[in-house]
Chain A
Amino acid sequence: MNVLLIVIVALALLNVVFVGLVILLRVVNGRRDKRLEARRSTWYPRLITSISDGSNLEDLRRQIDPGERRDVIVIAWNLSRRLRGVDRDRLRNFAAPLLDEITPDLEARSAETRARYLQMVSCLGGDEYEPAIAARLDDPSQLVSLVAARALCQPNGAEWFAEVLARLHRYSSWSHALTSSMLANVGMDAAPQMRAFAADDRHSARDRAAVIRALELLRDAEAADIAAAQLTDDDPDLIAACLRLLAVVGRSEHAVAVRPFLADERFFVRAAAITVLGKLGGASDAGMIAALDHGGSPWVAIRSAYALADLHATDELASMVAEGGLAADAAIETLYGGAA
């Protein structure tokens, strides 16, 4: 009974302490929010005015109290994400000398903290910080490594691109959409390195598929030959990526390499091949596409109808309509823009 009583009293006290902590948390958070808001309302207009009228940023920097340096860095960081060009450069000139305040946090124990401050440093720091950012590509945390890679993959940032490509395998669990757009962000300066990477089968098929997709985003015509050559690979995702690239930048001579995939057992490969032939093929391809058994795949039926429309094969589309069922619906959807 005594034990029960002790536990009850302990729990009652715990509840009181919990309530106190929650209230304390609210008070502390409220004060922090007020402080941040006050600093934001002071520094945001000051920064914007100084950047726009070109006044002396050195003077402005001298007005920062030592205790508010971190907050000013965060304010500048948030502002820099909305700026481009000269304005952003001016903001960087203002903020870069302050970054010593946060660089020790790049070594913080928490990966999230390292990643956060790495973002700030990459956003506000100049070229002199690039080696430090590149060093983070090998951070044990995948998150930090990716933040570093994204920071280095900026337009005209081909200087560090090889380092990023060499570590692409670290980001293989991330979606292709993310890695490809990151790589493509560098622009055509990086295309030669990407082509070489895509052609090198020592790299995994998944990584090559991501690079092929980046080349597709860049609409890199020179990558078409490489993509056509990669069609001999076994990996269906790589094949589909190559076919998608060919649909964008392929030439009619690539159709030969694509035709065998009309018979591929995987519907998404078949559908991608049909799309390519719709862009690159000729009259004979229209006949082949119309004669294809869509095997119950609506995607294949839809792609077939759109490919025939691309080839202006109206007779073949009419035959799809006459066929009835899925093929007919796909053809009607294509012919009438979806209207019944």
Chain B
Amino acid sequence: MSGLLNAFEVLILTYFALLNGTYLVLSLNAFRSLRRYMGRLESLQIDDLLASSGGLPISLVVPAYNEAASIVPSVRSLLTLKYADYEIVVVNDGSSDGTLSVLLAAFDLEPVTRVPTSQLAAAPVHAVYQGVRHENLTVIDKANGGKADALNAGLNYSRRALFCAMDADTILEPDALARVARPFLEDASTVAVGGIVRIANGCSVVGGSIDDVRLPKSMLVRFQVLEYLRAFLAARVGWNTLGATLIISGAFGVFRRSVVADAGGFDAATVGEDMELIVRLHRHCRDQGIPYRIEFIPDPVAWTEAPEKIAALGRQRDRWQRGLVQVITRHRRMIGNPKYGVVGTMALPYYVAFEMLGPVVEVVGYAAFVAAVLFGTASVVFVIGFLVLAIFFGTALSIAAVALEELSFRRYRRFSDLLKLLGVALAENFGYRQLSTWWRLRGLVSAMRRDHRWGAMERQGLETPDRDAGPTVTDSPALERSGSR
């Protein structure tokens, strides 16, 4: 028994070392890459590029399900983006709250005949409307089919070479499209680009735009702010330098339309349709011998609302974990396969070992250490020491993510916000990380039970009517559809 426990401890320690070693390498990669990227932004300015080339035409595809309360300001905000050639395709995904009638009334839409330019699988389309005053606004009314299905329908009716998949409640910064289009200009083989998703809770939102960036008051949301910084500025930038971007957030990503259509569009059978599409694009392009690049860049910003309640957050993380398991299961042939380059040999094995199985190992690790103490194979001091070590290492990585933000974009301008973020880096180790592990474990179990539900989420709404007041409730509880992992 003690031999088994010792072997287990060694296994856990090795796993811990590998996991944190990977995080460390990714963070260092991200540091180097961010410095270069910031230099590149200054060396060839996007305004100059767009002024001369006009940018590449983009269709914004906005799936909307029961968004009656927020869709009009969202669309108005999109209509003010600083970009020369773009259309907005809002897909009303069988809403039951009058989303369509609100749109019809607000934007003077009239029914049109429009030829779909692809035939991706999607629920039946009832009608297509076009704005009279805003000719670049199209609304597609279709039967309910979920976010992926709605995106496919939008893709079928979009006409531009690039399309941007986003959420109806995502706030794009005015220059976000211009920035996200840049890699498509700089490399003609680019097929997908993701921008950073930041948390808007706590920020002052006026007229559909972020007016003042602040940390939220809720500790739960602050934990998520730090998580997002770690995920986007450290992990995604780090993986991107290796050419192994596997996730482009469903809240904000731009794709080359023809390649996505050829690859079959979004998969409505998974709850992780954003990651699934990216992995499939890697697979499709490699299988077909198409030269391609999939990029994550950290300067185009989309703001999203994070769950403020613990139950809603749990459901979101549960769903993300299920999505991850579905994607990995579906594309298991790519894992370890050198045909798929770094994606097959490094990124996917990492996702299997650390993201998918991580919660199992962590929980088993806790149990093994308790058992080891009980059976006397390890001292209490050693176990506590190891836990302290894990906490300090995790804290160091989180502080590194804050440092990356400080080196690059510095969105949280208040000194007090910086101090709070540093405090959160330590505090998240006591309770939040364990909860997060539990949710992910629950998601893993749900995935094995083939649970495909999205789960409900209560949204508070982001618009701030009074600068000094906090966010107000503008939205009734709605089905969550963000997927802004």
Chain A residues close to B by CB (< 8 Å)? 1, 4-5, 7-8, 11-12, 14-15, 18-19, 21-23, 25-26, 29, 81, 110-116, 118-119, 143, 146-147, 150, 173-178, 181-182, 185, 298-299, 301-302, 326, 329-330, 332-333, 336, 338-340
Count A-B contacts at CB 8 Å. 145
- Complex formed: what's the CA distance from A11 to B399 in Å? 12
Chain A hits for B4, CB < 8 A = none
Q: How far is the CB of A320 from chain B (nearest CB, A)?
A: 11
B392 touches A8 (CB 8 A): yes
Please tell me which one of the listed residues B189, B389, B402 contacts residue A11 in the complex, with CB atoms under 8 A apart: B389
Residues of B within 8 A of A (CB): 36, 39-40, 42-45, 47-49, 52-56, 110-118, 130, 184-189, 379, 381-382, 385-386, 388-389, 392-393, 395-396, 399-400, 402-403, 406-407, 410, 415, 418, 422, 426
Q: What is the chain B residue whose CB lies nearest that of A4?
A: B385
Does the CB pair A18–B399 fall under 8 Å? yes
Question: Is the beta-carbon distance between A18 and B400 smaller than 8 angstroms?
Answer: yes
Which of A19, A25, A119 has a CB less than 8 Å from the CB of B407? A25
Cross-chain contact A340 with B113 (CB below 8 angstroms): yes
Give 24 CB contacts A-B under 8 Å.
Answer: A4-B382, A4-B385, A8-B385, A8-B389, A12-B392, A18-B399, A22-B399, A22-B418, A26-B406, A110-B36, A173-B188, A174-B185, A175-B53, A178-B52, A181-B52, A181-B53, A182-B53, A185-B52, A302-B117, A330-B115, A332-B113, A333-B115, A338-B113, A339-B111
The 4 closest A-B pairs by CB, nearest first: A112-B39, A115-B43, A11-B392, A338-B112
In the assembled complex, the Cα of A13 lies from the Cα of B20 at a distance in Å of: 18
Contact A329–B115 (Cβ < 8 Å): yes
Further contacts, 8 of them, CB under 8 A, given A113-B43, A115-B39, A298-B116: A1-B379, A4-B382, A4-B386, A23-B418, A174-B188, A177-B53, A177-B56, A336-B113
Q: Is the CB of B54 within 8 A of A177?
A: yes
Q: What chain A residues lie within 8 Å of B56 (beta carbons)? A: 175, 177
Contact assessment for A29 and B406 in the assembled complex, using a CB-CB cutoff below 8 Å: yes
> In the complex the two chains form, what is the Cα distance from A12 to B110 in whole Å?
64
B112 touches A19 (CB 8 A): no
Distance of A224 Cα from B43 Cα, bound (Å): 37
Nearest CB of chain B from residue A173's CB, rounded to whole Å = 5
Question: In the complex, what's the smallest C-beta–C-beta distance from A205 to chain B, in angstroms?
Answer: 14
Contacts of B115 in A (CB 8 A): 298, 301-302, 326, 329-330, 333
Partner of A116, one of B39, B48, B114, B187: B39
Distance from A233 Cβ to chain B, minimum over Cβ atoms (Å)? 19
- In the bound complex, residues from chain A placing their C-beta under 8 Å from that of B36 are 110, 112
Contact of B406 among A22, A111, A118, A302 (CB under 8 A): A22
Known contacts A81-B47, A177-B56, A178-B49; A333/B403 CB under 8 A: no
Q: Which B residues touch A182, using CB under 8 A?
A: 52-53
Interfacial chain B residues near A112, Cβ < 8 Å: 36, 39-40, 42-43
Q: How far is it, in angstroms, between the C-alpha of A56 and the C-alpha of B110 when the chains are bound?
A: 60
CB proximity of A241 to chain B, nearest CB, Å: 13
Q: Is the CB of A22 within 8 A of B184?
A: no
- Minimum distance in angstroms from B26 CB to a CB of chain A: 16
Q: Report A209 CB to chain B, min CB distance, Å.
A: 11
Q: What chain A residues lie within 8 Å of B186 (beta carbons)?
A: 174-175, 178
Which secondary structure dominates chain A's binding surface?
Answer: helix
Chain B residues whose C-beta falls within 8 Å of the C-beta of A174 in the assembled complex: 185-188
A119 B113 Cβ-Cβ under 8 A:
no
> Chain B: which residue is nearest A78 at the CB level?
B45
Among candidates A147, A173, A178, A333, residue contacting B114 with C-beta atoms closer than 8 Å: A333
Which residue of the partner chain, among B117, B381, B403, B407, contacts A18 with CB atoms under 8 Å?
B403
A339 lies within 8 A of B395 (CB): no
Quick one: which of A147, A177, A302, A339 has the most chain B CB within 10 A? A177
Partner of B110, one of A8, A113, A150, A339: A339
The closest CB in chain A to the CB of B187 belongs to A173
Closest to B129 in A: A340
Q: Give A118's nearest chain B residue, CB to CB.
A: B43
Given contacts A4-B385, A29-B410, A113-B39, contact A173 B116 (CB under 8 A): no
| From B44, B48, B185, B422, contact of A175 by CB (8 A) | B185
Could you tell me if A298 and B117 are in contact, using CB atoms closer than 8 angstroms?
A: yes
User: Do A178 and B44 touch (CB < 8 A)?
Assistant: no
Residue numbers in B under 8 Å from A11 (CB-CB): 389, 392-393, 396
A residues within 8 A CB of B403?
Answer: 18, 21-22, 25
Closest approach, in angstroms, between the C-beta of A338 and any C-beta of chain B? 4
Closest CB of chain A to B222's CB: distance in Å?
16
- Nearest Cβ on chain B to A77's Cβ, whole angstroms: 10
Q: How far is the CA of A1 from the CA of B402 in the complex (A)?
A: 32
* Closest B residue, CB atoms, query A179: B53
Residues from chain A with Cβ under 8 Å of B388 in the complex: 8
B52 touches A19 (CB 8 A): no
Give the complex CA separation of A62 and B283 in angstroms: 62
A146 to B114, CA, bound (A): 40
Selected from A115, A143, A175, the residue in CB contact (under 8 A) with B184 is A175
* Residues of chain A with a CB closer than 8 A to B187's CB: 173-175
> Contact at A7–B130, with CB atoms within 8 Å?
no
Q: Are B113 and A339 in contact (CB under 8 A)?
A: yes
User: Chain A CB within 10 Å — which of B392, B395, B418 has the most?
Assistant: B392
CB-CB under 8 A for A175 and B117, given A11-B396, A112-B40, A181-B53: no
* Cα distance, A330 to B113, chains bound together (Å): 8
Chain B residues contacting A150 (CB-CB under 8 Å) are: 48, 52
Q: Are B44 and A115 in contact (CB under 8 A)?
A: yes
Residue numbers in B under 8 Å from A118 (CB-CB):
43
Taken together as a complex, chains A and B put the C-alpha atoms of A248 and B130 apart, in Å, by 28
A74 to B426, alpha carbons, bound, how many Å?
A: 40
List A contacts of B407 (CB < 8 A).
Answer: 25
> Contacts A4-B386, A25-B406, A115-B44 known; A178 to B53 CB distance under 8 Å?
yes
Tell me the minimal C-beta distance from B274 to chain A in angstroms: 25
- Which residue of chain A has the shortest Cβ distance to B407 in the bound complex? A25
A301 vs B113: C-alpha distance in the bound complex, in angstroms?
A: 14
- Provide the residues of chain B in CB contact with A8, threshold 8 Å: 385, 388-389, 392
Min CB–CB distance A147 → chain B (angstroms):
6
Q: How far is the CA of A119 from the CA of B40 in the complex (A)?
A: 12
Tell which of B48, B49, B112 touches A81, judged by Cβ atoms closer than 8 Å.
B48
Docked-complex contact B43 and A147, CB < 8 angstroms = yes
Once bound together, how far apart are the Cα atoms of A177 and B57, in whole Å? 11
Give the chain B neighbours of A7 by CB distance below 8 A. Answer: 389
CB distance from B59 to the nearest CB of A (A): 15
Alpha-carbon gap, A12 to B385, bound state (A) = 12
Residues of A within 8 A of B395 (CB): 15
In the complex, chain B residues whose CB is within 8 Å of the CB of A19: 399, 422
B415 touches A26 (CB 8 A): yes
- In the complex, which residue of chain B has the Cβ closest to the Cβ of A22? B403
Q: Complex formed: what's the CA distance from A110 to B32 in Å?
A: 12
Most chain B CB neighbours (cut-off 10 Å) among A1, A15, A182 = A15
Expressed in whole angstroms, the minimum distance between the Cβ of B406 and any Cβ of chain A is 5
Cα-based distance from A57 to B241 in the complex (angstroms): 46
Contact between chains at A177 and B185 (CB < 8 Å)? yes
A14 to B403, CA, bound (A): 13
In the assembly, what is the distance between CA of A1 and CA of B403, in Å? 32
Residues on the A chain within 8 Å of B382, using CB: 1, 4
